[in-house]
């Protein structure tokens, strides 16, 4: 029984030593993790579909922020923009005509004075007409005098009506409804024009930031749907170093920690800062590890390259955590 216990203890000791030998470096006591360069692509697609009229970039090109990447046929959007501009011009002209018909307070005062004079003149004409009618009916006055008085009355009556019409047309309160409707029409057409210009501008798709063209999926002359990527960009800030850390070594890394990077073709001194540590363990992905390591549980870690390290996507790298700083 004692011999069996010793054998089990020896096996456990051997297994622990083997694990330590695998995870910890053999000669220089440096911890290293194998990883690779990952990239988060930005897929550039039009909001509305159409035929690609011009493609200005190709795979591998570097573009600056605001560079036009491709342009779609915009004949329909251009016509809609012109129509909206014409409607806006029309409603603005209508509003200007309504406002021009309004009179200032001093002009209204002049018209009101004219109205008083016209009313007085009409009163005189009315009295003269009544007098001539009476004389004509008695046979004292001639019909020509009566007709002349009636004509003068009709003339003064029309003059008063014209002055009153001008006053009514010039009153702001009387036309506020028409002006308000015209102003609302102008605002609606301004919004319609802005929307049409936005749709027209979106027929040109531009780079949202400095980036490298990673892939091109469609060429000039081809038709794409709205939301369908035409090409993919890789901004420098979207590169990540992805590596996997076994649970026994998880304590050697932390968010915000700086790690060293090395590879066969990399310059010395490359670094990255850890930006993500998975909270769930997973089996080692087979993409870069051997069959023996595939069954091990590890934690996925990502780090952002520092100093603008322009590493190719998929490049295998070795990650070396920095030595922990002594606690004060």
Instruction: Say how many C-beta atoms besides its own lie within 10 A of residue 72's C-beta.
Output: 21
> What pLDDT is stored for residue 7 in this prediction?
37
325 burial class (0-12, 13-18, 19+ CB within 10 angstroms)? Answer: exposed
Are residues 67 and 207 located together in one domain of the fold? yes
Task: Round the CA-based radius of gyration of the chain to a whole number and report it.
Answer: 45
The tokens of 176 are what?
Answer: 């506020």
**Residue 10 within a domain:** no
Are residues 184 and 247 located together in one domain of the fold? no
Instruction: Report pLDDT digits (tens) over 32-47.
Output: 898 999 999 999 999 9
Full residue range of the structural domain in which residue 224 is found: 42-71+203-234
User: Of the ranges 23-32, 127-136, 167-176, 287-296, which is most confident?
Assistant: 127-136
Please state the rounded mean pLDDT for residues 237-243.
Answer: 93
Are residues 113 and 225 located together in one domain of the fold? no
**Residue 8 within a domain:** no
**Residue 50 within a domain:** yes
Is residue 141 within 8 Å of residue 132, measured between CB atoms? yes
> What pLDDT is stored for residue 239 in this prediction?
92
Structural domains of the chain, count: 3
Are residues 53 and 109 located together in one domain of the fold? no
Residue predicted with more confidence, 111 or 210: 210
**Residue 7 within a domain:** no
Are residues 46 and 29 located together in one domain of the fold? no
The tokens of 278 are what?
Answer: 């998975």
> What pLDDT is stored for residue 188 in this prediction?
96
Are residues 276 and 229 located together in one domain of the fold? no
- Cα separation, 38 vs 214, in Å, equals 13
> What pLDDT is stored for residue 224 in this prediction?
97
- Write the CA distances from 187 to 167, 181, 182, 190, 198, integer angstroms: 29, 10, 9, 5, 17
> What pLDDT is stored for residue 211 in this prediction?
95
> What pLDDT is stored for residue 218 in this prediction?
97
Instruction: Report pLDDT digits (tens) over 199-223.
Output: 999 999 999 999 999 999 999 999 9
Does the reported pTM lie above 0.75? no
From 223, 288, 194, select the one nearest 70 (Cα to Cα).
223
**Residue 5 within a domain:** no
**Helices marked H in the chain:** 2-23, 75-101, 105-138, 143-170, 172-201
Instruction: Report pLDDT digits (tens) over 52-90.
Output: 999 999 999 999 999 999 999 999 999 999 999 999 999
> What pLDDT is stored for residue 10 in this prediction?
38
Instruction: Assess whether pLDDT exceeds 90 at residue 258.
Output: yes
Please state the rounded mean pLDDT for residues 96-113.
Answer: 71
**Residue 280 within a domain:** yes
Are residues 82 and 121 located together in one domain of the fold? yes
Residue predicted with more confidence, 75 or 328: 75
Are residues 103 and 150 located together in one domain of the fold? yes
**Residue 16 within a domain:** no
The tokens of 171 are what?
Answer: 């009153």
> What pLDDT is stored for residue 8 in this prediction?
36
Are residues 103 and 138 located together in one domain of the fold? yes
Instruction: Assess whether pLDDT exceeds 70 at residue 23.
Output: no
Please state the rounded mean pLDDT for residues 300-322.
Answer: 88
> What pLDDT is stored for residue 148 in this prediction?
87
> What pLDDT is stored for residue 288 in this prediction?
53
Instruction: Say how many C-beta atoms besides its own lie within 10 A of residue 71's C-beta.
Output: 18
Are residues 55 and 117 located together in one domain of the fold? no
Please state the rounded mean pLDDT for residues 2-22.
Answer: 40
- Cα separation, 303 vs 275, in Å, equals 5
Over the chain, what is the mean pLDDT? 82
- Residues of the chain with pLDDT > 90, as a percent, come to 46
Are residues 136 and 175 located together in one domain of the fold? yes
**Residue 18 within a domain:** no
Identify the CATH number of the domain in which residue 63 sits.
Answer: 2.40.50.100
Instruction: Report pLDDT digits (tens) over 143-192.
Output: 888 788 889 888 988 888 887 877 676 655 546 678 888 999 999 999 99
> What pLDDT is stored for residue 208 in this prediction?
96
- Cα separation, 55 vs 218, in Å, equals 9
Are residues 119 and 55 located together in one domain of the fold? no
Residue 227 has, within 13 A of its CA and on its CB side, a CA count of: 0
Q: How confident is the model at residue 15 (pLDDT cuts 50, 70, 90)?
A: very low
Q: Using the 3D structure, point to which of 151, 183, 199 is the last residue of a domain.
A: 199
Is residue 35 within 8 Å of residue 319, measured between CB atoms? yes
Cα angle 27, 264, 284; round to 5: 70
């Amino acid at each position: 029984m004692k011999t069996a216990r010793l054998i089990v203890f020896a096996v456990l000791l051997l297994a622990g030593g083997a694990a330590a030998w695998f995870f910890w470096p053999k000669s220089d006591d440096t911890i290293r993790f194998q990883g690779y360069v990952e990239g988060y692509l930005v897929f550039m697609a039009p909001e509305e579909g159409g035929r690609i009229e011009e493609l200005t970039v190709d795979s591998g090109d570097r573009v600056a922020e605001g560079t036009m990447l491709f342009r779609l046929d915009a004949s329909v959007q251009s016509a809609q923009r012109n129509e909206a501009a014409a409607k806006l011009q029309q409603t603005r002209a209508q509003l200007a005509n309504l406002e021009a018909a309004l009179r200032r307070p001093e002009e209204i005062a002049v018209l009101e004075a004219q109205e008083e004079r016209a009313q007085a003149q009409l009163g005189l004409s009315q009295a003269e007409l009544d007098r001539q009618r009476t004389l004509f009916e008695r046979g004292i006055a001639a019909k020509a005098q009566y007709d002349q008085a009636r004509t003068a009355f009709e003339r003064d009556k029309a003059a008063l009506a014209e002055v009153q019409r001008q006053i009514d047309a010039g009153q702001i309160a009387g036309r506020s409804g028409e002006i308000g409707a015209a102003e609302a029409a102008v605002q609606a057409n301004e919004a319609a024009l802005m929307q049409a210009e936005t749709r027209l501008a979106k027929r040109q798709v531009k780079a949202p930031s400095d980036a490298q063209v990673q892939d091109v999926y469609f060429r000039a002359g081809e038709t794409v749907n709205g939301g369908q990527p035409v090409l993919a960009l890789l901004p420098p800030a979207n590169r990540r170093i992805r590596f996997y850390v076994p649970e026994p070594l998880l304590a050697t890394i932390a968010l915000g920690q700086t790690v060293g990077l090395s590879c066969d073709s990399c310059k010395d001194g490359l670094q990255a800062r850890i930006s993500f540590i998975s909270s769930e363990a997973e089996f080692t992905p087979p993409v870069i590890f051997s069959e023996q390591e595939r069954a091990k549980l590890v934690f996925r870690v990502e780090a952002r390259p520092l100093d603008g390290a322009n590493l190719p996507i998929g490049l295998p790298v070795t990650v070396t955590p920095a030595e922990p700083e002594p606690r004060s």
